Structure 1
Amino acid sequence: MRVLFTPFPAKAHVYNMTPLIWAMRNAGHEVRIAIQPNPAEPDALSSAGLSARSVGNPLDWEQRTEEGGGEYTDEELALIAEFPIAQTDGERITAEYAEVIFDIWAPLCEAMAGADVTADLVEFAREWKPDLVVWDALVYAGPVAAKACGAAHARLLMGSDHFGRMRRALEEQQRDPMRDWLTGKLGEFGLEFDEDVVLGQLTIDAMPACTRYETDAKTLPVRFTPYNGPSESPKWLRDKPTKPRVCVTVGLSSRENDIPNKDDGFDAAELFEAVRGLDIEVIATLRAVEAPENVRLVDFVPLNELLPSCAVVVHHGGTGTIGNAVVHGVPQLVIPASSWGEATAAHELEKAGAALTLQPEEFSAQALRERLVRLLEDKSFVDGAAAVRREMLSRPTFNDIILDLEKLAASR
């Protein structure tokens, strides 16, 4: 069959989709990838041995947010802070709360796949006629193109399914900003809205079970497959560490930005003060000039190679880092960023006994040191991480779910 993939044009999102792309190709299916060009990250696909069809104009995030209405006023920013999509208090998620969430996120989704991207993708889909479209959960040009060419479509999550849990909270009589936005987007191509445009006909979820929420989406759990891009394993990584090793990473997306020593809750000076004098080895993917003797600064090292030797990983809560840590059973210290639900994932991992969290507003050398020492000394976190790992490894792999996707395409 013919399968069209539509990733968001950023390395972290491309890498999240790459294992499924290769599983589909290895199963003998004809695959095409359509992606908006991103001048800042032009090699994400080619480095994975993949080629793509460009759709839409080159990504200019500042222009996109202005066109999509995503450039917020101070009052709107205050509203976003009051209504985070990563709300950890389930009792607060009412129909009214969900309505505000979609008021916030509909214009952002438009910014991430605007009219030019959608028009080009629809044209290509109608020309190539895929049987199945697999779309990044933030690229809503994907399901529009699928409906336009009559293909089945599946949504690939890049984190916890917050849209799904917010859709579940909406009541029938509520105003629905997501439906209103997508109705207009679909109407440009003579199409009508239905709910599977929001949540997919099938949702593929590689997040740990403890981070999953009750939704109305038909969800297919899958094992997270680490893919960290092309890299060379450094020679020092071949030697077994002589003391507990701690990985500190701000994630792929943050590293691609030119942030020398601070991102969200991470401050290099505070971090170095926290670990100074501890009998540990710290591997940190931070750009800094000076560090204590027990800190090794590296520009990049593949997590899939590094984490098996680590006792703890300190990170921002990104999907790729969580997935790598879970697969290797490594306890986590999460200082959650605010991109997409990192706070809720951290909260649920902590409840599962596999992690501790440190909110960015609480970040200090002392707070970081206390949590890090606790993770290193309290072996219950090793047990908690092992339990989360067992659940993850019990799931089907991307190779195993190809039959489910073939059935979905055949039923369209």
Structure 2
Amino acid sequence: MRVLFTIFPTTAHLYPAIPLAWALQSAGHEVVVASPEGVVDPNVIDRITSAGLTAVSLGGRGELTASLAPLIAGAGPDRPTLALDPDDENAWRTTRAVLAGMFHAYYPPESAPGGRRPVLDTLVEFAREWRPDLVLWDPLAPTGAIAARTCGAAHARLLFGMDNIGLIRAKTRQELADPSSGLTEDPWMSWLGPVLERYGLDFTEETLVGQWSLDLTQSRMRHPLDLTYVPVRRVPYTGAATLPPWLHSRPERPRAVLTLGVSRRLLAGRHSGFPMREFFDSVADLDLELVATLNGEQLDAVGTLPDNVRALDYVPLNQVLPTSSAIIHHGGGGTFAAAVAFKVPQLVLPLPMWDETVTARYVVRRGAGLAADPAAIDVDSMRKDLVRLVEEPSFQLGARALYADMLAAPAPKDAVPVLERLTAEHRD
């Protein structure tokens, strides 16, 4: 069968899809990955092809950049966010409003300014010509559902993290059913109705939540929603690079990793106040090696490093974590998955972008690590937490428990027959 992936244009959304795309391709299916041009990552199309997959560029750099600029401009109390804390009964309304602005980038009512074609029109045209049997779409790239419906393909969401959109939709429906809420019109209809009419389609719940959802998150983290989920083990893919000589053998002393992922400039940026230099100085006397991923500006800012700190711009986590005893990170799904896969205890400083706060709590609850407040970082506390992760055996036991949870989900290759069956049941 032919399978079309539609991806939100960042590595944080592309990389989770790659192992499943490989599994489908290895099983003999034709696979294409479509994405708008990069916003956070300008090289996203090249990253698709470098992973051995066929890419289709949907354009849209100008439109999406304008729409997403407030989200990627930097951290701060006034920055809009897609983070959703299920314990906050009002946060979902804010997230719903932010999503509306994002979705408008995909659904302009007329042709885009400057002669650029809307992303959705480009995708629909490709889908009608290529005729996929199955469209797997990113929750932040809901164009996939519409493209699938225009060509009769089965379609499902590929969840890169927790199903916040499913949760928001469920709460919206509850609000619509409650006369005291004051909500009389479905806000999703106002966003999607006009564009669906352009393609002769009516609104269905599947336009928002898919005919089913492939869930890469651990089952214990899943929101309790009345939706169909197909669990798939998240195999960490963190990019490809030549293995550096210092990783050819195991370290002589414990190794810890400090990584802020693609969000490093938000948490460790000029205005956020992360005390990078102070933290390096605080661990200088510890009998461990700290590997920190920093960009050029951050390297210049910290100056001369302690002897036990190794700073570099990038190293794939699947190269460095097998020989590491602890990791400090921002709570991103890819970093969390890599830490779980290599059974590494975690110190999470959750940068609220999607589900990082929930991830941090989950790590703590499962005994696999500790969490700290990124808005009130205390260097001495971080140092103590790092020492605990390296020295206390209980955290290693917790990390092994998370690893066992990961293994309980079917591997990507084992999900392929399930997708074949569901596709046959749902395509027109």
Give TM-score, length-normalised by structure 1.
Answer: 0.89
1:381 and 2:419 aligned: no
**Partners of 1:296 and 1:101 in 2: how far apart?**
38
Alpha-carbon shift at residue 79 of structure 1 (Å)? 9.4
Corresponding residue of 1:160:
162
Cα distance, 1:99 vs structure 2: 3.6
The partner residue of 2:283 within 250, 275, 286 is: 275
Distance 1:181 1:314, change over 3 A: same
TM-aligned CA deviation for residue 382 of structure 1:
1.0
Match in the other structure for 1:315: 329
Instruction: Decide whether the 8 Å contact of 2:236 with 2:318 is kept in 1.
Output: yes
Residue equivalent to 1:32:
32
Taking only the aligned residue pairs, the percentage that are identical comes to 39
Residue 180 (1) aligns with residue 155 (2): no
Matched-pair contact (CA < 8 Å) for 2:346–2:370: yes
Name the structure 1 match of 2:129.
127
CA distance in 1, matches of 2:271, 2:236: 24
Judge conservation of contact 2:133–2:423 (CA < 8 Å) in 1: yes
Asked whether the 8 Å contact 2:103–2:191 carries over to 1, the reply is no
CA spacing shift, 1:114–1:45, aligned 2, 3 Å: farther
CA-CA distance at 1:38 after TM superposition: 2.5
Q: 1:240, 1:309 within 8 Å by CA — same for their partners in 2?
A: yes
Residue pair 1:88, 1:347 contacting (<8 A) in 2 also: no
Distance verdict in 2 for CA 1:291–1:262, change over 3 Å? farther
Q: Does 1:104 align with 2:98?
A: yes
Q: 2:224 — aligned with what?
A: 214
**Matches of 2:23 and 2:107 in 1, distance apart?**
26
In the other structure, the counterpart of 2:145 is: 143
**Alignment CA distance shift 1:260-1:408 (3 Å):** same
Q: Supply the distance in 2 between the matched residues of 1:14 and 1:399 (Cα, whole angstroms).
A: 18
1:103 and 1:177 in contact (8 A); partners too: no
Counterpart AA for 2:133? D
Matches within 5 A, 1:206-355: 206-251=216-261, 253-254=262-263, 266-287=274-295, 288=299, 289-355=303-369
The question of whether the paired residues in 1 share the 8 Å contact of 2:291 and 2:309 is answered with yes
Q: Which residue of 2 aligns with 1:198?
A: 208
Q: What does residue 424 of structure 2 align with?
A: 410
Between 35-44 and 328-337, report the one with greater CA deviation. 35-44
Take 1:64 and 1:349, find their aligned partners in 2: how far apart are those partners? 33
Q: Secondary structure at the match of 2:413?
A: coil
Corresponding residue of 1:85: 83
Asked if the contact 2:162/2:221 (under 8 Å) is kept, the reply is yes
Q: CA deviation at 1:305?
A: 1.8
TM-score of the two chains, using structure 2 as the length reference: 0.85
Partner of 1:57: 60
Deviations 1:71-118 (A, max 9, x none): 89xxxx75957xx733152xx33xx65344312222123336767011
**Helix, strand or coil: the match of 1:191?**
coil
Contact 1:250 1:266 in 2 (8 A): no
In structure 2, relative to structure 1, the CA distance for the partners of 1:100 and 1:178 (3 Å cut) is: farther
Partner Cα distance (2:202, 2:37) in 1: 28
Give the direction of change, closer, same or farther, for the CA distance of 1:259–1:211 in structure 2 (3 Å limit). closer
Q: Which runs of 5+ in 2 are unaligned?
A: 110-117, 178-182
Q: CA RMSD for the aligned pairs?
A: 2.6
Is the CA contact (8 Å cut-off) linking 2:267 and 2:274 kept in structure 1?
A: no
* Separation in 1, partners of 2:107, 2:214: 20
Shift of 1:144: 1.1
Question: Residue 327 of structure 1: CA displacement?
Answer: 1.0
Amino acid at match of 2:143: A
Amino acid of the residue matched to residue 290 of structure 2? Answer: V
Number of residue pairs aligned between Structure 1 and Structure 2: 398
Shift of 1:212: 1.8
CA distance in 2, matches of 1:364, 1:375: 17
User: How many Å separate the matches in 1 of 2:283 and 2:64?
Assistant: 36
Partner Cα separation in structure 2 for residue 113 and residue 9 of structure 1: 16
CA distance in 1, matches of 2:389, 2:106: 38
Maintained 8 Å contact 1:56/1:117 = yes
Deviation at 1:261, TM superposition (A): 6.1
For residues 166-193 of structure 1, the C-alpha deviation after alignment (integer angstroms, 9 at most, x for no partner) is: 2233314345423431223322211111
1:45 counterpart letter in structure 2: I
Q: Distance in 2 between matches of 1:329 and 1:347?
A: 17
Worse overlay, 231-240 or 45-54: 45-54
Per the TM alignment, residue 211 of structure 1 is displaced from its structure 2 partner at its CA by 2.4
Query: What is the distance in 1 between the residues matched to 2:61 and 2:273?
Result: 30
Q: Report the residue type matching 1:217 in the other structure.
A: L
**Equivalents in 1 of 2:166, 2:272: separation in Å?**
26
Alignment deviations for residues 363-410 of structure 1 (CA, whole Å, 9 cap, x no partner): 121121122122223221111111110010122111111111111211
In 2 relative to 1, CA 97–246 (structure 1 residues): closer, same or farther, beyond 3 Å? Answer: closer
- Report the Cα distance in structure 2 between the residues aligned to 1:265 and 1:160, rounded to whole angstroms: 28
Partner in structure 1 of residue 114 of structure 2:
none
Letter in 1 for 2:98: I
Paired with 2:55 and 2:143, the residues of 1 have a C-alpha distance of 16
Query: Separation in 2 of the partners of 1:259 and 1:373?
Result: 22
The one-letter code matched in structure 2 to 1:135 is: W
* Preserved CA contact (<8 Å) 1:247 1:283: yes
CA distance in 2, matches of 1:244, 1:86: 35
User: What are the equivalent positions in structure 2 for 1:3-14 lying under 5 Å apart?
Assistant: 3-14=3-14
Residues 1:60 and 1:282: Cα distance change in structure 2 (over 3 Å): farther
